[in-house]
Amino acid sequence: MLRIALLMLFRDRAKYVMLVVGLTFCSLLMTQQSSVFCGLMLWTTATVRNIGAKVWVFDAKVEQVNEVIPLREIEVTRVRGVPGVEWAVPLYVGIEQARLSDGSFQNVQLVGLDTATFVGRPMEITKGRIEDLRLPDAVIIDQVGVDKFRKKGITIDIGTTFEINDKTARVVALCHANRSFLGQPYVYTTYDRALQFAKPQRKMMSCVLVEPKPGVAARELAENISAAPGLQAFERDDLFWATIRWYIKNTGIPISFGTVVLMGVIVGIAIAGQTFYLFILDNLRYLAALKAMGARMPILAAMVFLQSFSVGFVGFGLGVGLTSIFGYKVLKIEQPPFFMPWQVPAFVAVIIIMICCFSAAIGLRQIAKLEPAVVFK
Amino acid sequence: MNPHDASRAGADSLAVAVRNVTKIFPNGDTPTYALRDVSFEARCGELTMIVGPSGCGKTTLLSVICGTLAIDSGTISVFGHDLGGMSVAEITGFRSKNVGFIFQQFNLIPTLSVMENVSIPLILQGWNYRKAEEKAASILAEVGLGNRLNSFPKQLSGGQQQRVAISRALVHDPKLIICDEPTASLDAKTGLHALELLKKSACRPDRCVIVVTHDSRIFSFADWIAEMEDGRVVRSCPAAEFHHG
């Protein structure tokens, strides 16, 4: 009878199309918005992913990577004294203003790397050499910066100069880095030069990057460092999630996206539930006839669930497929943020299953109440 | 009136035996008696008609005979099976194997082809689709619809739809055929043709056909007629006697 159930559904084109469109829209809305949310959250952790150190040491009050409280440089020495530390280097991270040759400004995310080791260097140098960072006024700028400057009519290449807080910066290499939350280009330089570029403060060092000794667990080392007064250390993944948690807790982003996702669920339930209910009502007489002819309730239930889940499956597939096309297109231009981990389609699948179950259940309720004798009326 | 009329065939051909059945529909403070202590018999090899004015309880009697409606008192035996002693699932299974239905509105599923509609009783019994459709095609050919197998019900005339309904009722070779007002949706000529076809293809020595109707034009097709009035069987006799008053 399952084939009969599918034929009954597929050949009722108007309702079938409406059901699929409703569930596709619902699935698309939920998948797309969830993926944009995940992408946005990923942007907040760009610095963690770009620098990549195993252990990060901050001031004890710091909650996430984008909101740092400067430390004294002496803290590097304290950290190096903690058992289990292989090496520890200072890092400067701050938003500075770059002035272009035409007088316009662009905020940049300035990263000062340890001069000797370049720990936290860009993942991929697309043009030039990292070693040239030791040259006078040298900076490396990421592709986001190249693109942003291009939009302002300025071509950035090796040798291009601009000013950061009135001090000359000369591009010696181009790199690829993960895009930051606010979209400022990453500009890499040495730690000492970053301090020259930045506006002077009593404390300048943003954090200390630490490598554990072989055999020492990063998280355990972070706990040991955190035991020192005034310091707080994070293992890389912990910092990643602490940053995301901070944004979820302290911004309206999850509520905004959550509302849209909820709307998707409501639209799905409303359209799919109602259309499926109408579909069942339209077929009630025939279902009663089937009941009279000897179709038992489990067979009818299986038919209804199959009908409901088949439209759910198609709607889910189309929704996720369209979202993937959207993601494929926007990833090229990096706007808006987009990241679709497997949990997103899994989450949407669960919601769609729930909508299908709900739709089938309200239909089944009608069928269960149905007396086969009504076919004689 | 004697439902156990001795002039009828022997007890071994008894297909349906309804004894002292009462069916009450709750209707606020004044319950409606649809069947009042009804006794009725139908035998194999005969086309039995239940006739009477609207609201006399014909369809209710038909419903309780095929087990789609529960009774309040009395007993119903169909081919020796006491429906009162069977669970709902058992009755459903029994209906699926032993009862063929022809409904007043035909109840052909509009989104299924003629062949698919006719194959449903077989599919319900676990036949595979290919074999069920082959059997459906052969029975449709017998009723002259061999060239309309893939048509949809809406593409057929009322008479053709009735022929499809008859085919669906017969395809799984049931012992009991239940027809509810088979001519109500048809014009006079088509109705007579439908009854001719039903009589010709459904009536067999091992099969009982029960037709509910108030259409006196088709009474002549009956072998036995039970007349109902106000929830009671007031007369039950051979068709010939019925015609002579």
**Chain A neighbors of B90, CB-CB under 8 A:** none
CB neighbour list of residue A333: distance below 8 Å, 6 or more residues apart: none
H-type helices in A55-204, by residue range? 74-80, 143-151, 191-197
Q: Is residue B3 part of a domain?
A: no
Give ∠ CA A49-A52-A57 in degrees, rounded to 5.
Answer: 110
ipTM here: 0.85
**A21 CB-contact burial (10 Å; exposed 0-12 / middle 13-18 / buried 19+):** middle
Q: Is residue B236 part of a domain?
A: yes
Q: Is residue B218 part of a domain?
A: yes
Average pLDDT over chain B, rounded to an integer: 88
> What is the structure's pLDDT at B76?
94
Q: Is residue B4 part of a domain?
A: no
Q: What's the mean pLDDT in A160-166?
A: 90
Tens-place pLDDT, residues A250-268: 998 989 999 988 988 888 8
Distance CA A84, CA A89 (A): 15
- Contact between B147 and B73 under an 8 Å Cβ cutoff? The reply is no
Picking from B59, B92, B112, the nearest residue to A294 by CB comes out as B92
Tens-place pLDDT, residues A282-319: 888 888 889 888 888 899 999 999 999 999 999 999 99
pLDDT category, B8, cuts 50, 70, 90? low
Q: Which of A104-118, A328-342, B140-154 has the lowest mean pLDDT?
A: A328-342
> What is the structure's pLDDT at B189?
83
> What is the structure's pLDDT at B245?
59
Q: What is the 8-class DSSP label of residue A173?
A: E
CB of B107 within 8 Å of a chain A CB? The answer is yes
> What is the structure's pLDDT at B2?
43
* Cβ contact A7–B111 (<8 Å): yes
Cβ density class B97-124: b for 16+ within 10 Å, e for less: ebbbbbbbbbbbbebbbbbbbbbbbbbb
Tens-place pLDDT, residues B148-188: 999 999 999 988 998 999 999 999 999 999 999 888 878 88
Picking from A11, A292, A299, the nearest residue to B95 by CB comes out as A292
Q: Is residue B93 part of a domain?
A: yes
* Cβ contact A296–B103 (<8 Å): no
Distance CA A338, CA B115 (A): 51
pLDDT beyond 90 at B117 = yes
> What is the structure's pLDDT at A223?
93
* Cβ contact A376–B95 (<8 Å): no
pLDDT beyond 70 at A144 = yes
Residue B131: give its domain's CATH number.
Answer: 3.40.50.300
Q: How far is B131 from chain A (nearest CA, A)?
A: 14
Picking from A4, A288, A371, the nearest residue to B120 by CB comes out as A4
pLDDT category, A183, cuts 50, 70, 90? confident
Distance CA B161, CA B118 (A): 11
pLDDT beyond 70 at A10 = yes
**Chain A neighbors of B103, CB-CB under 8 A:** 289, 375-376
- Domain of B118 in residue numbering reads as 11-243
Picking from B93, B110, B111, the nearest residue to A294 by CB comes out as B93
- Contact between A238 and A219 under an 8 Å Cβ cutoff? The reply is yes
Top pLDDT among B236 and A331 is at B236
The number of domains in chain B is 1
Q: Which of A53-57, A239-243, B136-140, B198-202 has the lowest mean pLDDT?
A: B198-202
Average pLDDT over chain A, rounded to an integer: 90
Q: What's the mean pLDDT in A100-122?
A: 88
CB of B63 within 8 Å of a chain A CB? The answer is yes
pLDDT category, B5, cuts 50, 70, 90? very low
Picking from B66, B92, B111, the nearest residue to A8 by CB comes out as B111
Q: Is residue B214 part of a domain?
A: yes
Q: What's the mean pLDDT in A346-372?
A: 88
Would strands B73-78 and A161-164 be described as parallel, antiparallel, or unpaired? unpaired
Closest to A206 measured CA to CA, from A333, A273, A109, A141: A109
Distance CA A17, CA A311 (A): 9
**Chain A neighbors of B97, CB-CB under 8 A:** 294
Q: Is residue B5 part of a domain?
A: no
Q: How far is A326 from chain B (nearest CA, A)?
A: 36
Q: Which of A112-121, A267-276, B138-147 has the lowest mean pLDDT?
A: A267-276
CB of B62 within 8 Å of a chain A CB? The answer is yes
